[in-house]
Amino acid sequence: MKLVVAGNGMVGQRFVEALRARDSAGRWEVTVLAEESRPAYDRVGLSAYFTGTSAEDLSLVPEGFYDDAPAVTLRLGEPVLSVDRDRHVVTTARGEYAYDALVLATGSYPFVPPVPGSDLPGCFVYRTLEDLEALAAHCAGRRAGAVVGGGLLGLEAANALRLLGLRTHVVEFAPRLMPMQLDEAGGAMLRRHVEALGLTVHTATRTERLEAGPDGIVERMVFAAAEDGAPVTGGAEPGIDVDTVVFAAGVRPRDDLARACGLEVGPRGGVVVDRTCRTSDPAVYAIGECANVDGQVHGLVAPGYAMAEVVAARLLGGDDTFAAADSSTKLKLLGVDVASFGTPAGELDVVYSDPAHGIYAKLALTDDAQTLLGGILVGDASAYAVLRAGVNGPLPGKLADFLGSGEVSGDLPGGAQVCSCHAVTKDDILTAVGDGHTDVAGLKACTRAGTGCGSCVPLLKTLLTQAGVEQSKAMCEHFAYSRQELFDLVRVRELRSFSRIVAEFGTGRGCDVCKPAIASILASLGNGHILDGEQAALQDTNDRFLANLQRNGTYSVVPRIPGGEITPDKLLVIAEVARDFGLYTKITGAQRIDLLGARVEQLPLIWRRLVDAGMESGHAYGKAVRTVKSCVGTTWCRFGVQDSVSLAVNLELRYRGLRSPHKIKAGVSGCARECAEARGKDVGVIATENGWNLFVGGNGGFRPRHADLFATDLDTETLVRTIDRFLMFYVRTADRLQRTAAWIEGMDGGLDHLRSVIVDDTLGICADLDAAMERHVADYSDEWAATLDDPDKLSRFVSFVNAPGTPDPSIEFVTQRGQAVPADAPVLVAGPTLATRTQGEVDR
């Protein structure tokens, strides 16, 4: 029998795979007619294209899958143009194909609101790889872009514009972002995250029209007047100047084939199907975004996959039906975790909000607080997998476990759905584990869990642990070693390049997980300047330019000020540099001076002035020892009992440039009054009458933690030796991006074990740790100065490779409180109530 599939998107491909897996007898000869010129690819992960993921990486078609013709044939660039239901024939531009059964998997098309000017050059949709390629080509040299739509797709598109270097606006008609998934409070929290990244958000805003510039390309987006009739400042029409517009205001089902051949279509679109996914014609099925089930069109991949499985089973005599769709979703939008699952509002809503850390969580429960109905998570979605799997069942643990703590405990019933994309339950996973699939890769291959959106992967690891399976500590898919194991291998083998390391101990070409981690390992082992040779390609943006990238595309320059001590002459140089280059200056909480707003081509010029004045890089950009904060100690303070300033200066100069798994901060207080806040640092030292008390494992950040008392009344020599060993042991054994607090907490034996290793030398490695630190101290060189002395390194510091001396024209500044700030910087404006505006709006 002949089967024709119209469409080769994610759902169409899933259907063909499901049918082929079931049809061992070869009952169906399958022809897939695809509109696009490339096989099915992952539209959910489409934005990864802008971070280096290739079209081949996004492909969903297993190698050789369509080599088995005529059993299964894929015809690219040959869409179905018409359907003759009486003759059971579909027509393409190249001919006719007879069918015994036809599956419509034509998906959807982007909705472009009827806005005058929407067809201007510079306007795009965000749907296919071709759309993204065209967008990337257009954006080269552009300054500002706007995305129409603040939903899931709109925020993905906004991130794409941001990655392409454009100042980005998000324009949403609804009063909040992601109105279909989030409530008002969740939308407000997401907005805070998005605006903190430098994007400008316009909610409750409708685009009136788009206007072209002299070159015919879109130049301005004009907004409709406010419904309350509020006057517009200066009499001008409200709007924004943009040279790129992306429409991401939703999608509509592609049901044109069904309409043309007389199939029933829903009032708001979509091919009407029953719960077997059969249309009004018994020989025709519809699945995915083009299908209308019970009056609803589903725009997520999980319901589409479920439909694909139903039709595959039905074509082979099964009795499967389409159950209620799971509309749960978890995404990382612009680096922010956002999740929605089940019913987001119930008889009893329990809410947790932490504005300081950008976390919002709401759980919808029955009135007896015993059954979980759904919820919303913004900022921290670590509990999503367990919570979604527990919907309509008893809450899997205590409420406190899921609201704000990020810790997940409790258990799930066997029938709880772990993977909504592929309808895999906990029992399915445990059965697979019992059959010998004892890692995530094995579970993916056996059950397909984790191969859809990927949000259930953390839960797969949890279930493996609960089943008694020891989890791999592999750094990533390219290295089957933990960071500690890889560090030791690189150190012992004396390897000095990523290519050698991956050739001997890994596979593939690396990724954004292992490359920076290995770059850090090589730097920790004294492998020369981080921009030397192959190492330069491994660094992230900040390390690549020896400066921190800021929200408007400029960089910050932070010279080292050891212990917070600085001479008037050096202060004068910093002031002159800031004045001459128009930089924003701010004294940081770490007793340094931040110079912000430097363009990339200005960095070497600024460094030259600072280096010539005797200053050096403060490593504010690196995963390295940053600062050693101090009070004034016995030098000035009448309560001080030790010279905290001298110790802080000596420690900072000793450990400067030490690369590590995460940033390291330290503090020295001259007495128990703790003015340097040493107990909030990775390494904290507090003076006593008899010497120094040493504290370790403190940190600020997302989850602040006080340091633990490690040793008391140490003399200075013993203190320094102990800190040496602590830092070196941490550098060698911690996981990538693991702070010292988490490293100690995860250590078998905790603080007692650490003390036995670096004080009692139970592992016999203290001499090696001491020698390693001495090598670091002896080999230190300033990365700024070394870059200034190397023409090859200097060549990378340009805004445009083809115009080295040209500054980036998209970078604009205005004046705020006497200093230059980004033109789109949020500013709190006083009035009857405090309100946030951009500085540019305030100036106007």
Among 539, 521, 545, residue whose Cα is nearest residue 784: 545
Q: Are strands 167-171 and 200-202 parallel, antiparallel or unpaired?
A: parallel
Task: Name the nearest CA neighbour of 119 among 247, 256, 249.
Answer: 247
Q: Are 308 and 14 in contact (CB under 8 A)?
A: yes
Helix extents (H) in 66-169: 129-139, 152-163
- The amino acid at residue 20 is R
**Ligand-binding site membership of 637 (annotated):** yes
Q: What is the DSSP letter of 215?
A: T
- DSSP SS3 for 342: strand
Contact between 808 and 142 under an 8 Å Cβ cutoff? The reply is: no
CB 697 within 8 A of CB 682: yes
How many angstroms separate the CA atoms of 362 and 353, rounded?
Answer: 9
Alpha-carbon distance values, 109 to 125, 250, 289, 361 (Å): 9, 9, 9, 33
296-311 burial, b for 16+ CB within 10 Å, e for fewer? Answer: ebbbbbbbbbbbbbbb
CA distance 480 to 476: 7
CB 299 within 8 A of CB 292: no
Cα–Cα distance between 106 and 256 in angstroms, integer?
Answer: 9
Helices (H), 204-332: 256-260, 301-315
DSSP string, 602-626: GHHHHHHHHHHTT--B--TTSSBEE
Instruction: Tell whether 511 is in a known binding site.
Output: no
* 112, 113, 119, 120 alpha-carbon torsion, rounded to 10°: -110
Q: Do the beta carbons of residue 735 and residue 661 sit within 8 Å? A: yes
Q: Is 671 annotated as a binding residue?
A: yes
Nearest to 105 by CA among 21, 29, 30: 30
Nearest C-alpha neighbor of 503 from the set 479, 526, 483: 479
- The answer to whether the beta carbons of residues 193 and 358 sit under 8 Å apart is yes
Joined together, the tokens standing for residue 821 give 């700030």
> Do 131 and 125 contact (CB within 8 A), yes or no?
yes
CA dihedral 242, 243, 244, 247 (to 10 degrees): 50
State the binding site for siroheme.
675
State the binding site for [4Fe-4S] cluster.
631, 637, 671, 675
State the binding site.
631, 637, 671, 675
